[in-house]
């Protein structure tokens, strides 16, 4: 690794706990690529003529993966001696459907409520972003349902408007 290599600050990365795998794995992959050991996630040896020390890089890569896991997951995956084995096992278990992210997006959308103390237009935009997050997670919501839910989320001072819209 050369001395000019940018090393990202991973101090704010929460340990992986089985939720939000996609976000965690993307950040880990970026970090490991910055320190030049990401090839250990997919290979069982160093690339030809690279001059890399696979044993050392695998140990670093494995250590980073385990370091950014909760204790419970650490105990499960620390038995694997290769970073690739850990990475593949995590991808198999958590990569197919990132339930934590979907659950979080749905929870934020369902719990959203508008209030009289903020501009309504600003809150409508916030609601639109929450809808976009749900759609980005692959959850389908028809536009009529989105609109009717928005009416229900309007503050109590808008009740007359809500009632008139429901009757249209």
Residue pLDDT, tens place only, 7-50: 667 777 889 988 778 889 999 999 999 999 999 999 999 989 88
pLDDT in tens, 139-167: 888 999 998 999 999 998 999 998 888 88
Radius of gyration of the chain (CA): 23
Q: Average pLDDT, stretch 63-89?
A: 95
- Are 57 and 64 a contacting pair, CB within 8 Å? no
At residue 69, does pLDDT exceed 60? yes
Helices and strands in the chain: count of H runs, count of E runs: 8, 0
Question: What does the alpha-carbon distance between residue 57 and residue 47 come to, in Å, rounded to a whole number?
Answer: 12
User: Which residues, 6+ apart, have CB-to-CB distance to 65 below 8 Å?
Assistant: 28, 77, 83, 86, 87, 90
* CA distances, 22 to each of 46, 67, 69, 106 (Å): 26, 17, 14, 17
């Amino acid at each position: 690794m050369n001395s000019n290599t940018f090393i990202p600050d991973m101090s704010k990365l929460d340990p992986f706990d089985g939720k939000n795998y996609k976000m965690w794995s993307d950040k880990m992959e970026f970090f490991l690529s910055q320190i030049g050991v990401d090839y250990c996630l997919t290979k069982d040896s160093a690339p030809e003529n690279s001059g890399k020390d696979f044993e050392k890089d695998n140990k670093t890569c494995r250590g980073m993966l385990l370091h950014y896991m909760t204790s419970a997951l650490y105990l499960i995956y620390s038995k694997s001696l290769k970073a690739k084995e850990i990475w593949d096992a995590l991808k198999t278990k958590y990569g197919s459907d990132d339930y934590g992210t979907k659950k979080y997006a749905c929870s934020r959308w369902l719990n959203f409520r508008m209030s009289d103390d903020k501009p309504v237009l600003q809150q409508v935009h916030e609601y639109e972003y929450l809808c976009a997050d749900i759609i980005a997670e692959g959850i389908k919501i028809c536009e009529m349902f989105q609109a009717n839910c928005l009416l229900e989320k309007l503050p109590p001072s808008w009740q007359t408007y809500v009632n008139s819209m429901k009757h249209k």
